Amino acid sequence: QVQLVESGGGLVQSGGSLRLSCAASGSVFSWGDMGWYRQSPGKERELVTTITRGGTTNYADSVLGRFTISRDDAKNTVYLRMNSLKPEDTAVYYCYCNARTLRFGSGMDYWGKGTLVTVSS
């Protein structure tokens, strides 16, 4: 099976920075696209950013210019650098990746359990 474990969340004041990490493990044939979602209480889940295995990135308008996604395939890890944090960035952040495994050879999306980011004013 594939496991994703997020880390790096915490409490930070407005204007501060955090770096989230997501370490993936498991028996996989290949890794595909990766990205981050977030969800705040009372709000719909939001796709924050994605990165393809070729390195193409996309960002939600709300984080464009402040967040940066990157990946290190050698370490099976995806990162999210978060700068100039705002209270509205407060959410549980979830990473995902697409992977091909023996059981799901055509590829399947996997999600971590999330890490909480709280931005105070």
pLDDT in tens, 49-89: 999 999 999 999 999 999 999 999 889 899 999 999 999 99
**Nearest to residue 85, comparing CAs of 68, 69, 67?**
67
Q: What is the pLDDT of residues 8-25, one digit of tens each?
A: 999 999 999 999 999 999
Q: Residue 3, exposed/middle/buried by CB under 10 A (0-12, 13-18, 19+)?
A: exposed
Residues contacting 75, CB < 8 A, separation 6+: 23
Residues contacting 47, CB < 8 A, separation 6+: 35, 36, 37, 60
Q: Band the pLDDT of 102: cuts 50, 70, 90.
A: confident
Give the three-class secondary structure for 105.
coil
Tokens of 55: 């390195």
- 76, 24 contact by CB (below 8 A): yes
Q: What angle do CA 11, 119, 116 make, to 5 degrees?
A: 55
Report DSSP state, residue 89: G
Rg from Cα positions in the chain: 14
* Residue 31, pLDDT score: 87
Q: Band the pLDDT of 1: cuts 50, 70, 90.
A: confident
Tokens of 59: 């960002």
Q: Band the pLDDT of 41: cuts 50, 70, 90.
A: confident
